[in-house]
Amino acid sequence: MLLPCPHCSTIFRVDADLIPQDGQTVRCSICHHIWVASPVPPPADQSVALSDAGAVAASLLPAVTQLSAARDRLKNLWKPCLVAVLAAGLAGGVIMNRGTITAYLPVLINGFDAIGLTIRPAVAQLQVAGLQASYVGDTMRLSGGLRNRGMWRTHAADLQVTVRGADGTIMQETVIRPDHDMIDAQAESGFFVQLVVEAGREAHVTVTPLANRVAR
């Protein structure tokens, strides 16, 4: 055991068996100080300390296990999240482009209708071209074409034909269909209509594509 002198702080190494439990009078060989030395008390109960440490470790173990499990779940979560994002993007793309998709696959029109997604022609890419009118008596014979200016096939639109007089009053108005239900990219579908117009009156004709619902 180590025995320090309380006077000069010199530390001596002595046999612990030489110091009885009730103490022993000793003298410092350095400063000659005399005092009663007591045996060094045993260290704190290590079993209790170890037990306490074990209890702490045991209490922390569930938290560590849960943290590890949460980390593993987060590591594995990116895959389903990525799939969900891709699926949402794909679904959004299908919805946004359903007009083009159904122009190639008309069988899907009723399916989109069933879930409340109406199909309409892309009138922004349709253009009336080659409009010509001729008369036989009081009958106007009107012909022309509906051109698809887009890069993809599209649904043909209904055409509203309006005949107005010089003063702007409507003399005739009707809705007709082009010759084809679908129009390929950069292609054209013809149309023809006969209208009775009062003879001798000046007439102005307009043909307007309509974004009416496409039915199959």
d(CA 190, CA 130): 9
Task: Identify the band that residue 103 occupies on the pLDDT scale cut at 50, 70 and 90.
Answer: very high
For 144-165, what is each residue's pLDDT tens digit?
999 999 999 999 999 999 999 8
d(CA 97, CA 91): 10
- For residue 127 the two structure tokens come to 């253009």
Q: Is the Cβ–Cβ distance between 37 and 24 less than 8 Å?
A: yes
Write down the pLDDT at residue 65.
76
Domains and CATH numbers, the chain: 2-37 (no CATH), 123-210 (2.60.40.10)
> Could you tell me how many residues make up the chain?
216
DSSP lists the bridge partners of residue 120 as none
- Across the chain, mean pLDDT equals 83
Lowest mean pLDDT among 21-25, 133-137, 155-159: 21-25
Write down the pLDDT at residue 34.
85
Q: Is the Cβ–Cβ distance between 102 and 94 less than 8 Å?
A: no
- Whether residue 63 is predicted with pLDDT greater than 70 in this model: the reply is no
Pairing verdict, β 188-196 and 158-165? unpaired
Task: Identify the band that residue 48 occupies on the pLDDT scale cut at 50, 70 and 90.
Answer: very low
Write down the pLDDT at residue 215.
84
- Tell me the CA distances in angstroms from 164 to 47, 168, 173, 205, one per residue in order: 107, 5, 9, 6
Number of H helices, E strands in the chain: 3, 12
Residue pointed to by tokens 């107005």: 164
- Whether residue 131 is predicted with pLDDT greater than 60 in this model: the reply is yes
Kindly report the pTM of this predicted structure. Answer: 0.58
DSSP one-letter string for 194-212: EEE--TT--EEEEEEEE-P
Which is it for the CA torsion 122, 123, 129, 135, positive or negative? positive
Q: Is the Cβ–Cβ distance between 197 and 163 less than 8 Å?
A: yes
pLDDT mean over 95-123: 91
- Whether residue 45 is predicted with pLDDT greater than 60 in this model: the reply is no
d(CA 205, CA 173): 10
